[in-house]
């Protein structure tokens, strides 16, 4: 089974890249194997200290790529279209298959840009300043 590549961002700005296997949105913690020490054991990552868990295609991404923060006319993702503003000011646009619930520990968001290095993002509710549902012009 292929391990899932993630970039973990703590609320204090610290970033850790690694692999996860036992992630559950309902647990308070998960194990991460650091990418720079794959044979060095695992770290316990506690959700309450995080901003988000980014499931990524590549650890480095493309620094020159400017990710699209909107939907193009005709794009109809499954679920609700949302704009999420983090407490640090970062804004993410994407969709969620389930209703976004700020009472949950976190919510999965699928980025609006299909070329994003982020496949999906588990957004920690305590790190969010605001959420706005986006609607098409027609409705």
For 64-75, write each residue's pLDDT tens digit. 999 999 998 888
Q: What's this model's pTM, rounded to 2 decimal places?
A: 0.92
**Residue 134: CB atoms within 10 Å:** 14
3-state DSSP call for residue 125? Answer: helix
Question: Which tokens go with 8?
Answer: 């973990």
Q: Whose CA is closest to 7, among 42, 57, 41?
A: 57
Of 45-54, 64-73, 76-85, which one has max mean pLDDT?
A: 45-54
CA distance 20 to 33: 7
pLDDT of residue 82: 96
Q: What angle do CA 114, 120, 2 make, to 5 degrees?
A: 105
């Amino acid at each position: 089974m292929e391990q899932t590549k993630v970039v973990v961002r703590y609320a204090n700005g610290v970033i850790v890249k690694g692999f996860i296997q036992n992630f559950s949105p309902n647990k308070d913690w998960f194990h991460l194997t650091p990418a720079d020490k794959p044979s060095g054991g695992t770290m316990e990552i506690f959700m309450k200290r995080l901003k988000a868990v980014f499931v990524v295609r590549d650890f480095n991404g493309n620094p020159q790529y400017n990710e699209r923060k909107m939907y193009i006319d005709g794009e109809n993702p499954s679920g609700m279209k949302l704009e999420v503003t983090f407490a640090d000011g970062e804004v993410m646009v994407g969709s969620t298959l389930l209703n976004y619930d700020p009472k949950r520990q976190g919510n999965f968001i699928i980025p609006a840009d299909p070329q994003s290095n982020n496949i999906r993002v588990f957004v920690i509710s305590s790190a969010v300043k605001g959420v706005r549902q986006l609607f098409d012009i027609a409705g």
